[in-house]
Amino acid sequence: MQQADTSVRHLLARGDFRRLLVARLLAQSGDGVLQAALAGTVLFNPQRAADPVDVAAAFAVLLLPYSVVGPFAGVWLDRWSRRQVLVRANVLRAGLVAVLAALVLAGQAGAPFYAAGLAVFAVTRFLLAALSAALPHTTDAASLVPANALSTTSGAVATVTGGVLALGLLQLGTAGDAAYAAVALSATVPHLASAAVAAGFDRRYLGPDSGVRSARLPARAVLRGMVAGARHVAEHPPAAAALLAIGAHRVCYGLLTLMTLLLFRNTLTEGTGPLFPGGLAGLGVVLAAGSAGTLVAAVATPPAVRRLGTRGWVVALLAGGGVLQLALGLSFATPGWVAAGLVLGVVAQGVKICVDATLQRSVDDDFRGRVFSVYDTLVNVAYVAALVAGALLLPESGRSVTGLLVVAAVYALTAVGYASVTRAHASDRS
């Protein structure tokens, strides 16, 4: 049997895939613009955190509120036209961003400002879940891994690009509330453009397959739908194992994030040369290394999956990631931590690509929205739980051999658990 063509050229030859990809790139570039604009405010700024508990609290305020709402959003993703979700969510985001920009201009930093910011992020996660649920309608099953690699990675690059452009705009004028508000407002342009691109799809084209049903849904029915979604995942071991893998990875990611912030804030304040600065500049180099790792994973994952299968590649990422985080991090020096950041980027993106493809392939389309919203909630709750635990246990210096040992142990146990659960499906190399 001739092997299916899963190259980038093959993917981009499909007009529907290109349209969905452009909608994603525009939407996520707007996210980058907004995030850069908010970087100058008091919203979730690690520089202002006095201790680890403050850092964890900031992330919790950002992530947990809409993580709780996320599963309910998934029920509507399986009832509403996903094309309509992409259009209306982008328009709604543009309106909320305008409100947020007005609050920035007015110098507001209290509850209204936080509420507006959380509302924007909540709609953003809903939108990203809809993009993931819609992707299988624009490609064939054999191309899901490279399609996810291209979509999620280019989306992340678009976010970074939007942020860089916004920072450039901020350099053109005097820093202050007016400048930040203007740049925040400019994020509405790509959001509205994304809505216009998504509007080019037919109303039913992106699913759900059973057809668009009434948007009116009692809260009790929402809860029943979530229970059904959870049972659906439990009935599909590859999907359950995928969620186990990504949840455990996010625990490790949360611990390493907090350790990195504390190290470069309180310990690694002096650099070891121009390539490895300390303080905030060093933190920026670690983040850049993580972004480079994301790109490496996007290139390496499709051929690795073809050679090892999804199961083999995920096990290799988890097991190898744990060993390398321990080996590179124990020096608690900037060069080793930068290298560890690169490895973490590879692991994070490689696992995400495989998990996305597994969920898209193994769950029924009518449950896909609910599953992806539960997925979003799981990764955020696991991340915040790790931050809170780390805030209570890690020293303010960030130097913790015990923390690195915990990370290595969680990765190792997860690799073993994932391999065990998916053993019956080992023949699936797609």
Question: Would you give the DSSP letter of residue 426?
Answer: T
Confidence bin at 71 (pLDDT 50/70/90):
low
Residue 106: the pLDDT is 86
State the Cα–Cα distance between residues 358 and 223, nearest whole angstrom: 25
State the Cα–Cα distance between residues 294 and 284, nearest whole angstrom: 15
State the Cα–Cα distance between residues 147 and 135, nearest whole angstrom: 8
- Do 230 and 374 contact (CB within 8 A), yes or no? yes
For 131-161, the pLDDT digits (tens) are 988 999 999 888 888 898 899 889 988 888 8
Residue 360: the pLDDT is 86
Please provide the distance, in angstroms rounded to a whole number, between the alpha carbons at the two ends of the chain.
15
- pLDDT for residue 1 is more than 60: no
User: Which has more confidence, 375 or 404?
Assistant: 404
Confidence bin at 2 (pLDDT 50/70/90):
very low
Residue 304: the pLDDT is 95
* Closest to 63 (Cα-Cα) out of 148, 96, 55: 55
For 214-228, the pLDDT digits (tens) are 555 556 766 676 677
Mean pLDDT of 275-295: 82
Mean pLDDT of 168-188: 82
Confidence bin at 125 (pLDDT 50/70/90):
confident
Residue 290: the pLDDT is 87
User: Which has more confidence, 317 or 376?
Assistant: 317
Sorted by sequence, the CB contacts under 8 Å of residue 110 that are 6+ apart come out as none
Chain centroid to Cα 50, Å, comes to 27
- pLDDT for residue 295 is more than 70: yes
The chain-wide mean pLDDT, for the chain, equals: 84
Residue 189: the pLDDT is 97
For 87-123, the pLDDT digits (tens) are 999 999 999 999 999 998 887 766 787 788 888 887 8
State the Cα–Cα distance between residues 301 and 298, nearest whole angstrom: 6
CA distances from 277 to 224, 270, 273, 334 (A): 53, 7, 6, 7
- Do 240 and 233 contact (CB within 8 A), yes or no? yes
- Do 329 and 342 contact (CB within 8 A), yes or no? no
In this prediction, what percent of the chain has a pLDDT beyond 90? 41
H runs (alpha helix) in 199-333: 219-234, 237-262, 279-329
State the Cα–Cα distance between residues 355 and 370, nearest whole angstrom: 15
Residue 175: the pLDDT is 64
Residue type, 126: F
- Do 160 and 291 contact (CB within 8 A), yes or no? yes
Residue 43: the pLDDT is 45
- pLDDT for residue 370 is more than 60: yes
Question: Would you give the DSSP letter of residue 265?
Answer: I
